[in-house]
Structure 1
């Protein structure tokens, strides 16, 4: 009886440790499952590899993307979107591929996607819009309405919102996109000779960037500049 009594605390301790480890495993599995489901259906993380969206987004910034756009919520003018390269937009890169562990974390949504097959740009025109540049004051126009674009960067010595002229009508189901850093962005303007003629099919859009979450000192909500596109939809309706 004395031996049985002395064994009881040890059995209780072992049982307590096993119970803790079991609960820990369950918590980790649930966390991975929730993260995977979020990444698959709702939110996905990406990092910024280039200067094309400065100053809004800088190199190595991390963003969270709402994947309900455009499948559930329609894409809007002014949205910053992530989309898969429609073909020929991205130059070959020599950066090191992620390790197996990094790839695993990316696949379950616990790390930003660092693959080089996605592009980040701002939507300027949606299906049916006529987008052109530049007017007498060097501005982009959408449906004849000149845009006041406070987010763009124009390099020293330039005054126009685009270094090249263009005049296009966006097909239904597609968007016309441009980088905020206008003279350092290979966007729709420079891909008009590609099969897609510079337009991005909405089916290729992963989602809308809604927050810059890293680095922490640049944490901010990525608002849509509604005032920039005031009158554009009305102008489109009257021209139809």
Structure 2
């Protein structure tokens, strides 16, 4: 009697695994995009007031959040009638109840008397070219641009009610990553604010979302390529092995 061939069985198993990989890949790929669309909003940065952290024209991903989730150090997108009622991008340096001042030593910002290291500022630039002091009302945020020389921020509105602060409810989203140009990457939370009550915010899920999309793409293309590749290898093997004798 002839021997029993198992090539067809292996081929069927390969087809099943290929189909499963493509199906799982589609779930991860499409699910990642859907998750990102729910959690994030894309913005184009309109000015250079946040340079060098984000430059004018950069495409950024901002996580939809409630104003109560904002922490010191966050870069937020907000809209306020007193600031022109347009989406603006600034960094939160103080929250309700804080006293923010600059610059007792000529260079550093202080919050409640604590000097704040700001590694995101351009080299050799003081925390503010002019001195100021403000007491932030409850439920408000004090915002500065990272480009402290030319940024129009809370310092510009110090004579307004609230000493230039903006209501937490004005916040629409928090920047998590620069999507374009490539290489901008995830925006790190400045740990210098972690020593203050409330600490810093936790990063959003952008890395998980990107990972889901990338893994999904690999599974889709890998699974789709496995079927034809396996059939080709099987056909070559059959061509080299003589038929079984009866």
Shared fold, TM over 0.5:
yes
Secondary structure in 2 matching 1:171: coil
1:57-96 aligned within 5 A: 57-70=54-67, 74-87=69-82, 89-90=83-84
Contact 1:69 1:208 in 2 (8 A): no
Contact 1:125 1:177 in 2 (8 A): yes
- Across the aligned residues of Structure 1 and Structure 2, the Cα RMSD in angstroms comes to 2.4
Contact 1:80 1:209 in 2 (8 A): yes
Q: Partner residue of 1:160? A: 126
**Structure 1 residues 136, 196: CA separation in 2 closer, same or farther (over 3 Å shift)?**
closer
Contact 1:53 1:180 in 2 (8 A): yes
Q: Partner residue of 1:49? A: 46
TM-score (norm 2): 0.61
Secondary structure in 2 matching 1:189: helix
**Structure 1 residues 219, 163: CA separation in 2 closer, same or farther (over 3 Å shift)?**
closer
TM-score (norm 1): 0.63
In structure 1, C-alpha distance between the alignment counterparts of 2:97 and 2:63, rounded to whole Å: 24
Which structure has the higher relative contact order (CA within 8 Å, separation 6+)? 2
Unpaired segments of 5 or more residues in structure 2? 1-29, 199-246
Please list the CA deviations of residues 102-148 of structure 1 after superposition, one character each: whole Å capped at 9, or x if unmatched: xxxxxxxxxxxxxx811100110011111001122421000101011
Number of residue pairs aligned between Structure 1 and Structure 2: 167
Contact 2:134 2:158 in 1 (8 A): no
* 1:231 to 2:195 alignment: yes
Contact 2:136 2:162 in 1 (8 A): no
Secondary structure in 2 matching 1:167: strand
In structure 1, C-alpha distance between the alignment counterparts of 2:72 and 2:189, rounded to whole Å: 8
1:232 Cα offset (Å): 2.7
In structure 2, C-alpha distance between the alignment counterparts of 1:232 and 1:176, rounded to whole Å: 15
In structure 1, C-alpha distance between the alignment counterparts of 2:79 and 2:100, rounded to whole Å: 22
* 1:220 to 2:185 alignment: yes
Unpaired segments of 5 or more residues in structure 1? 1-30, 91-115, 235-240
**Structure 1 residues 123, 182: CA separation in 2 closer, same or farther (over 3 Å shift)?**
same
